[in-house]
Amino acid sequence: MNYYETLFKRKSFHLFIGGEPTTEDDLKLINSFIKEVKPLYNDIKTEIIIVPEKETTCHRGADYCILFYSEQKGEYLRNIGYIGEQIDLYLNSIGIGALWFGIGKPKEARNNGLEYVIMIAIKRMPSNSFRKDMFKSKRKPIDEIWSGESIDDVTNIVRFAPSACNTQPWYVENKNNELFIYRYKKPGKRGIMPIDKVIYYNRIDIGIFLFILEVCLNHKGISFIRKLYLDESTAETEKTLVALFNAD
């Protein structure tokens, strides 16, 4: 599928108003796609299942929720973000509205020995309810998320990656076509969310951002070598290096 093209129509449905029932054929398509997603880390076990919304604490008018379970090791949160954003974009491409729902809980906190991480709520929505002008979305200006030379069709587009509470916890330094990617926390600012939850969701957000960045680089025809780093920062760390892309 064309992930880059879908970026421009992608929308977070905070409430699912109207629309049509999500069909069995829809679920078959989604489950088939789930089997094709590429993890960021091949050595972290994950499982993704779809359940009715009523079997979760999500009450947004969705039909179903996609539940993500994982081993709790290494950068498992980043891995789930990377996997989940592929699914998020696919859903939007076939007319299924989606919402990353961080505060939701499923009936089962464990599945086949794996721990619950996060969910995406879904429902088939009218075609005219998806985003028509991505650039009207509220996002940080480029100079708050990127330093060094900008890259056409990359720098201005990666800003629109989704994130928990719209915190956009990323920063890119372009140094002679080496892209240093950081998880960024503005000093002294976190809103009403507890700090442990901020770090939890922002680590998922980084996985989402890395996938969007790769989509943009691929669209531009820029080849790259990716190096990933462990995120071992504390709650007070401002910038944490999470990845390096050597781009040509």
Express each pLDDT in 135-192 by its tens digit. Answer: 988 899 999 999 999 999 999 999 999 998 788 999 999 999 999 999 998 776 656 6
In this structure, are 121 and 171 located in the same domain?
no
Regarding predicted confidence, which is higher, 13 or 237? Answer: 13
Tally the domains of the chain: 2
Q: Which two tokens stand for residue 112?
A: 């086949």
**What pLDDT score was predicted for residue 244?**
98
Average the pLDDT over 87-111 and give the result: 96
Q: Please name the residues in contact with 109: beta carbons below 8 A apart, sequence gap of 6 or more.
A: 115, 116
Average the pLDDT over 94-117 and give the result: 96
In this structure, are 176 and 215 located in the same domain?
yes
**CATH number of the CATH domain containing 47:** 3.40.109.10
Helix 24-34 and helix 76-93: axis angle, to 10°? 140
**What pLDDT score was predicted for residue 236?**
73
Cα–Cα distance for residue pair 242/209, rounded to 1 Å? 11
**Per-residue confidence band for 24, with pLDDT thresholds at 50, 70 and 90:** very high
Task: State percent of the chain over pLDDT 90.
Answer: 87
Average the pLDDT over 214-220 and give the result: 97
**What pLDDT score was predicted for residue 102?**
92
**Which tens digits make up the pLDDT trace of 45-68?**
999 999 999 999 999 999 999 999
In this structure, are 82 and 29 located in the same domain?
yes
Final residue belonging to a domain, choices 102, 129, 156: 129
Final residue belonging to a domain, choices 77, 94, 129: 129
**Per-residue confidence band for 219, with pLDDT thresholds at 50, 70 and 90:** very high
Cα–Cα distance for residue pair 77/83, rounded to 1 Å? 10
pTM of the model: 0.96
In this structure, are 153 and 224 located in the same domain?
yes
**Per-residue confidence band for 248, with pLDDT thresholds at 50, 70 and 90:** confident
Domain that holds residue 19: 3-129
In this structure, are 86 and 156 located in the same domain?
no
- Which CA distances in Å does 15 have to 63, 136, 170? 11, 19, 27
Res 237 pLDDT > 90 = no
**What pLDDT score was predicted for residue 165?**
78
Average the pLDDT over 212-223 and give the result: 97
In this structure, are 143 and 199 located in the same domain?
yes
SS3 97: strand
In this structure, are 121 and 9 located in the same domain?
yes
In this structure, are 195 and 174 located in the same domain?
yes
Q: Which two tokens stand for residue 173?
A: 């330094």
